[in-house]
Chains A and B, each alone.
Chain A
């Protein structure tokens, strides 16, 4: 009862935390988008049969999957600016680290999605004289995307949650705001519950949007 009372009392700080959802969403949205573009390029490199590109993409994926995200973020925010003398904001560093990291994971998802497409689709496209770009853009990738949509949403959900580590370099996301309020009001319970509910709601909204899109795609070709 007292807790509920406290939460009600600190209405403005609850609202402060909730606004962090928008910041978190920006991180996750921008990083998924950029990571997706990077993932497409890397996956095409991996399937290109051009040795240098294949090795480049594989080495990239290996490194970004083989080191902690927190290390990558710190590297971009602290190490690189110190080296080249360029000040980078927490937001830029966050987007850069999350995009580069998710690009590695998404490239593997897309690669598997492309390889799962029937060889006949490639042959039909080639036999009609389509260029590589046309074949990939209009025939192969749209079909793969439909299959890998659940895996992509999963990746975005991960990103949404993982983005909480942006709080370590001072980005004012959900997690950071909850910690600030907690420190200010000497209570962890309320702020963390609010932040938790926000994360969970975002994930639920994201998953149900994906479900809708998936159903729409399925009925379109049924």
Chain B
């Protein structure tokens, strides 16, 4: 479904991604882990052209992404950010219904009905008319997930969805993500939550210095990592 071929990206001369290739099948849940600065987020952001790769191709469902069709293909690929990025001038309901009505052309009633289903799914029905700044971090992130789901995406990219949250709010967000896994949506999750990755993911990608060093099942990766770098990393975080 998502296919990256020899992606490279550098920022002001500093090479962040080196010749990365990756295929994600429809419905797969993939956790991307690794030390800070290893290129995890950049990799994720290249998939929907938030960052345009310097070299290589990204294809979504067989279509190769370029600057012209990026906006069209982004409708199929949701993104959840570390800092939520809800629209502060819209209430929760409008945050969720805006894109479906404006981009997909749903009528208001359909969009609101779907929004209430999603709010129920993330446990925030009573917040429909609140504004984002009246919500806690965990609540904001759950609304952000609902906003993404409202577009019925084929894949969702999670860019450290719990890294900006207070510890007691991490759980509620992870619970929402957990319920999305293996429902047919492809999930790519950049995360520092090792236990979560272990429990949920079909595949673990371990990145370091712009390369994917290991690509294995959680069992294999966490019990017998192949590379020295992954072994050292796991010793520190587990």
Q: Check A146 for interface membership: any CB of B closer than 8 A.
A: yes
Residue of B71, B85, B89, B134 near A124 (CB, 8 A) is B85
Inter-chain contacts of B103 with A (CB < 8 A): 128-131, 134
Verify A221–B81 contact, CB threshold 8 A: no
Q: Does the CB pair A127–B79 fall under 8 Å?
A: yes
- Does B9 lie at the interface of the complex (its beta carbon under 8 Å from any beta carbon of A)? no
User: Once bound together, how far apart are the Cα atoms of A34 and B79, in whole Å?
Assistant: 38
How far apart sit A124 and B98, CA to CA, in the bound complex (Å)?
A: 12
Q: B88 in the interface, Cβ–Cβ < 8 Å?
A: yes
**A121 touching B74, Cβ below 8 Å:** no
Chain A interface mostly helix, strand, loop or mixed? Answer: helix
Count of interface residues, chain A, beta-carbon cutoff 8 Å: 21
Given that A123-B50, A138-B102 are known contacts, is A143 also in contact with B83, CB under 8 Å in the complex?
no
A120 interface residue (CB < 8 Å to B): yes
Known: A221-B131, A221-B133, A222-B133. A129 touches B85 (CB 8 A): no
Q: Does A118 contact B (CB under 8 A)?
A: yes
Give min CB distance, A177 to chain B, whole Å: 43
Are A124 and B131 in contact, with the CB atoms below 8 A? no
Contact B102 A121 (CB under 8 A): no
Residues of the B chain whose Cβ atoms lie less than 8 Å from the Cβ of A139:
87
Selected from B50, B86, B89, the residue in CB contact (under 8 A) with A127 is B50
Inter-subunit contact B74/A128 (CB<8 Å): yes
Judge whether A6 is part of the interface by a CB distance below 8 angstroms. Answer: no
CB-based nearest B residue for A137 = B102
Contact status B89-A146, CB under 8 Å: yes
B 45-78 binary contact with A (CB < 8 Å = 1; else 0): 0001010000000000000000000011011011
Given A121, A130, A131, A222, which contacts B85 in the complex, CB threshold below 8 Å? A121
**Set of chain A residues within 8 Å of B83, measured between Cβ atoms:** 120
Query: Are A222 and B131 in contact (CB-based, < 8 A)?
Result: yes
Which one of A123, A128, A130, A146 lies within 8 Å of B147 (CB-CB)? A128
Set B102, B133, B134: member contacting A134, Cβ < 8 A: B102
Does residue B99 face the partner (Cβ distance < 8 Å to A)? yes
**Residue A142, interface by CB 8 Å:** yes
Closest 9 CB pairs of A and B: A129-B75, A124-B85, A120-B85, A127-B79, A128-B99, A129-B74, A129-B103, A221-B131, A142-B89
Chain B contact residues, CB within 8 Å of chain A: 48, 50, 71-72, 74-75, 77-79, 81, 83, 85-89, 98-99, 102-103, 131, 133-134, 147-148, 151
User: Residues on A close to B: CB < 8 A?
Assistant: 118, 120-121, 123-131, 134, 138-139, 142-143, 146, 220-222
